[in-house]
């Protein structure tokens, strides 16, 4: 008896209902937003560097920075779902109403990531305090972050959420039954929950790698994009999960894997800027 071949679901193909011109404009708009978010993120990273903890940012400032980072990393991968939903918006609204509903969908999506950003802020505050008190703890924090990320990549929650993100048509049909009040906002937030469930493991590795590590962010954004849109994305998920487990074993012995958890003594200029007391000069012999 022949056994059927199991193949990963193919990603949703957007744009079957949108005219070619509207499809191109929608893609260009999302790409432009992502590019602007990357420019802001890179510019901010130059001024902040990498250090343990919240980098001295209050929660509102951190969340503002986090939302820009998520727009840079996630908008390219969410584009197919967004464009598929926009197809339905286009059939029932025009002009500014259509633009407002589309912005509402994206806003709901980013709102979910903002809520997750609060959890990241708490994790950064706790790990930063622990590393300040016990610098050697950074190795084990990094190992734990890589371990959690690896287990999440290989776990059932990842498979369920990734399946939704790759083939969201069933869920989008369900969304059509939502009540009209703030419908697009709730649809964006609901899809954002699936996206957080799919990608939270990838995000926590920014704790050991550095929240403002642009190279790490670019690499993770590429993984997220390929997981959701590449036909072999589910196999990439397993490969990345195994790689994280290997890093979890190496992290306690390889400090270069943990740039976001390394403490450094501030220089004279930095101490003066922070208002810290300068060390007294040693007397000459």
Residue 275 lies in a domain: no
Show the tokens assigned to 77: 């991968």
Count Cα neighbours of 77 within 13 Å in the Cβ-side half-sphere: 31
Residue 117 within a domain:
yes
Confirm whether 217 is domain-assigned: yes
Most confident range (mean pLDDT) of 2-11, 27-36, 38-47 is 38-47
Count of domains observed in the chain = 1
pLDDT at 6 over 50: no
Whether residue 276 is predicted with pLDDT greater than 60 in this model: the reply is no
- Residue 284, domain member (yes or no): no
- In this prediction, residue 21 carries a pLDDT of 63
Kindly provide the b/e burial profile for residues 168-186, where b requires at least 16 CB atoms within 10 angstroms of the residue's own CB. Answer: beeebeebeeeeeeebbbb
Taking the C-alpha atoms of residue 279 and residue 285, their distance in angstroms, rounded to an integer, is: 18
Domain membership of residue 7 (yes or no) is: no
Where residue 140 falls among pLDDT bands split at 50, 70, 90?
Answer: very high
Q: Does the pLDDT at position 204 exceed 50?
A: yes
Rounded CA-CA distance 189/175 in Å is 11
Q: Domain for residue 66, yes or no?
A: yes
Q: Which whole number is the average pLDDT over 202-224?
A: 94
Q: How far is CA 29 from CA 54, 83, 108, 215, in A?
A: 32, 11, 18, 24
- Mean pLDDT over all residues of the chain? 81
Does residue 165 carry a pLDDT above 90? no
Q: For residues 131 and 183, what is the distance between their CA atoms, to the nearest angstrom? A: 44
Band (26; pLDDT cuts 50, 70, 90): low
Judge whether residue 269 has pLDDT over 50: no
Among candidate residues 235, 205, 226, the one with its CA nearest the CA of residue 217? 205
Inform me whether the pLDDT recorded for 5 exceeds 80.
no
Asked if 241 and 153 touch (Cβ cutoff 8 Å), the reply is yes
Kindly report the pTM of this predicted structure: 0.81
**267 lies in some domain:** no
pLDDT of residue 50: 75
Nearest of 158, 256, 245, 153 to residue 208 by alpha carbon: 256
With cut-offs at 50, 70 and 90, classify the pLDDT of residue 272. very low
> For residue 151, is it within any domain?
yes
Task: Say what the pLDDT of residue 236 is.
Answer: 95
pLDDT classification of 105: cutoffs 50, 70, 90? confident
Q: State the residue range of the domain holding 149.
A: 20-262
Which of the residue ranges 9-13, 168-172, 189-193, 275-279 would you say has the lowest mean pLDDT? 275-279
């Amino acid at each position: 008896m022949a056994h059927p071949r199991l193949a990963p679901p193919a990603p949703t193909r957007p744009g079957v209902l949108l005219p070619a011109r509207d499809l191109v404009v929608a893609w260009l708009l999302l790409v432009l937003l992502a590019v602007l978010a990357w420019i802001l993120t890179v510019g901010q990273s130059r001024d902040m560097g990498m250090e343990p903890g919240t980098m001295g940012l209050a929660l509102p400032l951190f969340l503002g920075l986090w939302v820009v980072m998520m727009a840079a990393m996630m908008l390219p991968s969410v584009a197919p779902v967004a464009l598929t939903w926009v197809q339905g918006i286009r059939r029932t609204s025009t002009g500014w109403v259509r633009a407002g509903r589309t912005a509402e969908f994206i806003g709901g999506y980013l709102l979910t990531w903002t809520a997750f950003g609060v959890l990241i802020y708490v994790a950064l505050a706790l790990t930063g305090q622990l590393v300040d008190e016990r610098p050697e703890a950074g190795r084990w924090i990094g190992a734990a972050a890589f371990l959690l990320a690896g287990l999440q990549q290989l776990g059932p929650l990842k498979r369920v959420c990734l399946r939704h993100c790759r083939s969201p048509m069933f869920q989008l049909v369900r969304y059509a039954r939502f009540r009209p009040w703030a419908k697009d906002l709730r649809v964006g937030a609901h899809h954002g929950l699936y996206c957080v469930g799919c990608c939270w493991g990838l995000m926590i590795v920014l704790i050991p790698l550095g929240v403002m590590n642009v190279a790490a962010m670019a690499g993770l954004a590429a993984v997220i994009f390929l997981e959701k849109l590449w036909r072999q994305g589910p196999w990439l998920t397993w490969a990345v999960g195994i790689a994280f487990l290997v890093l979890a074993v190496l992290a306690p012995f390889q400090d270069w894997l943990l740039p976001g958890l390394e403490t450094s003594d501030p220089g004279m200029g930095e101490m003066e800027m922070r208002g810290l007391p300068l060390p007294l000069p040693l007397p000459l012999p």
